[in-house]
Amino acid sequence: MLLRKRPKRRKPRKPRELKRGIYILPNLFTTGNLFCGFFAIAAAVNYKFKTAAVAILVSCLFDILDGKVVRLTNSQSRFGVEYDSLADLVAFGVAPAVVMYLWALQPFGRLGWVAAFLFVACGALRLARFNVQVNSIPKKYFVGLPIPGAACMVATTVLFLYHLGESGPAKHFVLLAMTYLLGFLMVSTIPYNSFKEFNRLQRMPFRSLFLAVLVLSVVAAQPAVMLFTLMALYLVSGPLEYLWKLAQRSSRLPAEAPQEKPVQIGPGVEQ
């Protein structure tokens, strides 16, 4: 008697996963960040260093708006994080390094391009460390100088020196040392204030508005000088606050050991 073959059961097909889309608005700001970084590189290659410096500052503005839009619309995604990091590396790592090398470091030869490469490498390490530690460190501080801060320091220095009309070998030596210093600060563990806990929607005293208008007026009057001054103050704020905390810790004397009370063997008897 022939045995009938059981029909093979077909495995149920897995439902096709919906293709995940991307958030358009924050990624448009990230693209603007990337475009300004590329434009800064192109301007630096054509020896238009002031234009390149302004493009880096505009790129920083796009980066700030990108983060604000993500938080306001609650549109954070893994794609956006990775795209933002790549755009930051170009705009705040490669572009300032190219500007600094072609503007001031080229006469130093190997020492100059090593300094420019170190800036890019430290910026990449800084971004990678930030992505790894983003959920494990307090939002009040950055660990090390943020890469947009280092890039803005380069850009404002270019604008400041063009404003003063300074040139010569002394300028090149200072900028060479500054490039190495910025790379070191980016990979250091020195805390820098992130200003993320500052709530602009909260009620504040009237004098705060007056101070904000005063600062904006001064920056508008002398943008090259004031932007450089503000970035220099932020640059030194991290090490100064770090040294201040170390000095406070070392100045604290150990608590004196409490004196032992005499052991009473009997009433009114001490030993």
Whether the per-residue pLDDT at 9 is higher than 80: the answer is: no
Taking only the tens place, the pLDDT of each residue in 79-118 is 888 999 999 999 999 999 999 999 999 999 999 999 999 9
Rounded CA gap, 164 and 32, in Å? 30
Taking only the tens place, the pLDDT of each residue in 231-255 is 999 999 999 988 888 888 877 755 4
Question: Which DSSP state fits 108?
Answer: G
pLDDT at 254: 58
pLDDT at 242: 87
Question: For the residues 213-218, what does the mean pLDDT come to?
Answer: 79
pLDDT at 81: 86
Taking only the tens place, the pLDDT of each residue in 26-69 is 889 999 999 999 999 999 999 999 999 999 999 999 999 988 88
Element (H, E) at 124: helix 110-133
pLDDT at 256: 46
Rounded CA gap, 199 and 221, in Å? 27
pLDDT at 230: 92
Global pTM exceeds 0.85 = no
Higher pLDDT, 29 or 12: 29
pLDDT at 186: 95
Mean residue pLDDT of the chain comes to: 83
pLDDT at 16: 47
259 to 255, 256, 262: CA distances (angstroms): 12, 9, 9
Contact 30, 69 (CB under 8 A): no
pLDDT at 17: 40
Per the DSSP assignment, residues forming a β-bridge with 143 are 191
pLDDT at 59: 96
* Residue whose structure tokens are 């993500």: 70
- Tokens for 124, please give them: 């990449």
Taking only the tens place, the pLDDT of each residue in 119-176 is 999 999 999 998 888 777 777 888 899 999 999 999 999 999 998 886 556 678 899 9
User: How far apart, in Å, do the first and last CA atoms of the chain sit?
Assistant: 108
Q: How many residues are present in the chain?
A: 271
pLDDT at 261: 55
Rounded CA gap, 176 and 165, in Å? 18
Taking only the tens place, the pLDDT of each residue in 165-205 is 865 566 788 999 999 999 999 999 999 988 766 555 556 67
pLDDT at 13: 57
Higher pLDDT, 20 or 79: 79
